[in-house]
Amino acid sequence: MRIGIDVGGTNTDAVLMDGTAVVSSTKTPTTANVSEGIARALRDVIADSGINTETIDGVMIGTTHFTNAVVERKHLTPTACIRLGLPATVCLPPMVDWPLDLRDIVGGNAHLAHGGHEFDGREISAFEPDEVRDIAEKIKAAGLNAIAISSVFSPVNSTFEEQSAEIVRSVIPNANITLSSEIGRIGLLERENAAIMNSCLRQLAARTVDGFKAALDELQIASPFYISQNDGTLMNADFAKEYPVLTFASGPTNSMRGAAFLSGLKDAIVVDVGGTTTDIGVLQHGFPRVAALAVEIGGVRTNFRMPDTYSIGLGGGSLIQEDPLKVGPRSVGYELTEKALVFGGDVLTTTDVIVAGGGEDIGNKHAVSGLDAGLVTAVQARIMEMIAIAVDRMKTSATPVPVIVVGGGSILVTGEIEGASEIIKPDHFPVANAIGAAIAQVGGECDRIFSLAELSRDEALDQAKQEASDRAINAGAAAESVDIVDVEEVPLAYLPGNATRIMVKAVGDLVGA
């Protein structure tokens, strides 16, 4: 059996699953000390099902804790950055576009050194070990041991980053080093930003993951535990301590993965209706489609794989303005159960309209019996129109696709969605996110530019697939279960040569799970 836990900003959800069956589920408020909330959720699902903790094979945890740390500027470790690429890149040093308050906290300790590669794998300049050693001495003298290392086109060739890490470790034995090539894609500043954030979160990650472990120990759960990543795959506890940034935006991902699992569909649109917003995402081969553009975290641009979601200001708590008719984006949010008409409040919300329309029996339905029937119909139509437009925006073609509706605000979906082949509201929809965590696999990726002068296209694709598979196996996947789930090729424009960027994603089942 597996337990999936999703620690959100408001609620901590947990589910106990036996194979593909949901045995029990719970929702508890998130606590300031994340581990306490997790312990409570664990206790609830275990007590609820009455199982023996020895039958638990794994605990999968999804958390927004590390994203929040960056957004709130809390628990961040001062971090140095070494960038290899001289003489290129000088005019835009590391952290150049960070909000100043965050840069102050992280320390702005940045160094440039020779090295780096061209898009086609040639060296920009020779690597100079002594130069890196001198920089390491300076970082040591500054009392820092958290370090991020980036190198130009390291997604094409990461050897200079690796060599630098070795030298830094020889100078600072307890160095905590993140290589940009381990995290990000093409786009030096964004990839480097992610690497720096990763290093500055590692101390917090170690404490947090140890806290999770302690919570499990307390409940005498001896099984291994895993943390969910934003691509819908898992990392083990040690890996999570190393790569906390990979948890960013894992919440929406888990929701989508849970929706895929609950509906049995691998290609669909997922509509996650909350209290204030509705997030729409796309499942491709059972995984969330990845955003193509830069995503800002706490004011810092990053470009590592994030789920491509589109949010609209529509939820169960959205306010309704009657003339002219307007639904959202303002919302009563978590105060729904005090302010909505059906809960004795004096604010007209979407939930009131759905109750008045007879779609749902929540709170005191007599409080809305006097609502104008025309208004009710108009609001319901507007809600469906808003969802339909957002769904359509996320589709890749006009072909109708299935739409899976999850989240606490699912009651808002009362009719047909234009462009949907079917609408599925699976069981257990309020805890789809925890289910997404529980069922996750492990994965690996490759994102590189290949010069097709030396390689045939097929050879390049094979290399990329091999690299992605190797990474999945390194992350804990059983080799025989590894599958390539996504391949994308983008030829480079404005160039007469034949260079192409290939992105491959592989996933497999956890060893022994």
Residues near other proteins (CB under 8 A) are: 85, 87-92, 96-97, 116, 118-120, 122, 124-125, 152-153, 186-190, 292-293, 389, 392-398, 491-497, 499, 501
Q: Are 315 and 331 in contact (CB under 8 A)?
A: yes
What residue has token string 């050693």? 133
Residue number, 153 or 212, with CB nearest to other proteins:
153
235/314 with CB nearer other proteins: 314
Nearer to other proteins, 70 or 124 (CB): 124
CB of 100 to other proteins, least distance (A): 11
By beta-carbon proximity to other proteins, the closer residue of 65 and 83 is 83
CB of 142 to other proteins, least distance (A): 23
Shorter beta-carbon distance to other proteins: residue 191 or 202: 191
DSSP string, 53-68: GGG--EEEEEE-HHHH
- Whether 327 and 383 have beta carbons less than 8 Å apart is answered as yes
Query: What residues have CB less than 8 Å from 212, skipping those under 6 apart?
Result: 34, 35, 38, 61, 225, 237
Report, in Å, the least distance between residue 387 CB and other proteins.
Answer: 13
- Choice between 310 and 334, CB closer to other proteins: 310
CB nearer to other proteins: give 200 or 312.
312
The least distance separating other proteins from the CB of residue 91, rounded to whole angstroms, comes to 3
- What are the structure tokens assigned to 165, written together? 């890490």
- Count helices and strands in the chain by DSSP H and E runs: 13, 23
> Using an 8 Å Cβ cutoff, are 433 and 262 in contact?
no
Q: Min. distance of Cβ 322 from other proteins in angstroms?
A: 19
Residue among 119 and 304 whose Cβ is closer to other proteins = 119
Extract the runs of DSSP E, i.e. beta strands, from 8-120. Answer: 11-18, 21-29, 58-63, 79-86, 109-114
Render the burial of 353-381: b for 16+ CB within 10 Å, e for the rest: bbbbbebbebbeeebbeebeeebbebbbe
Minimum Å gap between C-beta 149 and other proteins is 16
CB of 161 to other proteins, least distance (A): 14
Q: Which is nearer to other proteins, 49 or 125 (CB)?
A: 125
Instruction: Give the start-end residues of each E strand in 170-214.
Output: 176-179
Ramachandran class of 116: left when φ > 0, alpha when ψ lies in -120 to 50, beta otherwise: left
CB of 451 to other proteins, least distance (A): 11
Q: What is the nearest approach in angstroms of other proteins to the Cβ of residue 377? A: 22
Cβ proximity to other proteins, 89 vs 176, nearer residue = 89
Tell the smallest beta-carbon distance from residue 88 to other proteins (Å).
Answer: 4
- For 302: left if phi > 0, alpha if psi spans -120 to 50, otherwise beta; the answer is beta
- Minimum distance of other proteins from residue 493's CB (angstroms): 4
The structure tokens listed for 266 are 């691998």
HSE toward the beta carbon, residue 30, CA cutoff 13 A: 15
Buried residues in 71-86 as b, exposed as e (16+ CB within 10 A): eeeebbbbbbbbbbbb
Nearest-approach distance from CB 122 to other proteins, in angstroms? 7
Taking a C-beta distance cutoff of 8 angstroms, is the pair 164, 111 a contact?
A: no
* Residue among 96 and 142 whose Cβ is closer to other proteins: 96
Q: Which is nearer to other proteins, 60 or 312 (CB)?
A: 312
Alpha carbon distances (Å) from 137 to 115, 143, 168, 169, 210: 19, 10, 8, 11, 31
Alpha carbon separation from 210 to 17, 43, 107, 190, 244 (Å, rounded)? 24, 18, 26, 29, 13
